Amino acid sequence: MKGYIKSSILIFATILVSFTGCKKETYNLGDLTTPTDLAITTDIVGKTAEQPYGDGSGLVNFTFVANDAISYKVDFGDGSSPQVCQSKITRKYNKVGLKKYRVIISALGKGGITTTSMQDIEVYYAFAVDPALVTLLTGDSPTGKKWRVANDEAAHLGLGPGADRPDGNAETFIPSWWAAQPNEKVGKGIYDDIYTFTNSKVFTHTTNGDMYGIKEYFARDFDPATPGVYGGYGDEWILTYPDYTEAFDYDGDPATSTSPKRDYITFSQKGHCGFFSGFHKYMILEITETTMSLRADIPGTNINAWYVKLIVVE
């Protein structure tokens, strides 16, 4: 019994020494100083009195200054993720045309303390399109070249996998899921639509009173009341809507080791060709004097791609 008591006392003494031997660690971050006097300077490349929004390169030189700032976190307002940078950076804005961007800058101080400011800028970006493409699309005409859906052909409308399929389906660049048979959508308000492109980047959509597409996107971009009738399947809708005119432009992706150069037609607000599923940017898959094949990814997802074949109106 005495041996047991002695052993217990020894164990308790050992534990007591262990606890009393620990020292509390202290950390010193220094003064947590809030950055002050945050200032932003923007230099739009090529800006002149005649070109107040730049030379079309889309380049902007940014300079950030603040007292007690370690670095800067910048949201450039173009949809990309914010990035941490130093006091100077050059950014290329590549949305075609004259666009307004809200730039939000946070000056980062010690301990993560921040000071935030914002500034709106307007930048013009002009894509250098191949003149031959312009000729094929517009006929180099100020009054425009007219196109319509090639309804007598198979696959004049279609659907296939987009770029970001979570299920592993690869892009096909053909309507591998569904392809309309000749005149399959008669009575849907699409085969009498005329799309006119001019050499001054003016687009006219002659609707002849109605258009065909998804009701949700018609409500978003055309008319919240969505006058019209049910299109016959899912969310399809035949929208009652008059002719309209707006600007269009060109965009493109450079050739890489894995993909060819791509050219696009972009619209400013409502413009589209064929079945409307919310997109206003079309990849030109093929274009000749009399035919054109286009593809558009559903915006924000790139899961599905829609296709349309057009022919010149005689």
**Residue percentage of the chain with pLDDT more than 90:** 65
Amino acid in position 231: G
Q: Point out which residues pair with 23 in neighbouring strands.
A: none
Query: Residue 172: pLDDT band by 50, 70, 90 thresholds?
Result: confident
Residues in the chain: 314
Q: Which helix (DSSP H) or strand (DSSP E) does residue 133 occupy?
A: helix 131-138
* 53: DSSP letter: T
Q: How far is CA 181 from CA 294, 312, 313, in A?
A: 17, 20, 20
**pLDDT top residue among 174 and 22:** 174
Q: CA angle, corner 7, sides to 3 and 12, nearest 5?
A: 150
| 3-state secondary structure at position 279 | coil
Work out the average pLDDT over 284-309.
Answer: 86
**pLDDT top residue among 8 and 114:** 114
Both tokens of 88, joined, read: 């100077």
* 76: DSSP letter: -
d(CA 302, CA 162): 5
Residue 197: closest CA among 107, 62, 287, 279: 287
Both tokens of 250, joined, read: 């060109």
Question: Which domains does the chain carry?
Answer: 36-125 (2.60.40.10), 131-312 (no CATH)
Q: Pairing between strand 281-287 and 114-125? A: unpaired
At 4-29, the pLDDT tens digits run 444 444 444 454 444 444 444 555 55
Are the C-beta atoms of 203 and 195 separated by less than 8 Å? yes
Residue 242: closest CA among 264, 227, 224: 227
Both tokens of 43, joined, read: 């230099």
- Tell me the pTM: 0.67
Are the C-beta atoms of 120 and 149 separated by less than 8 Å? no
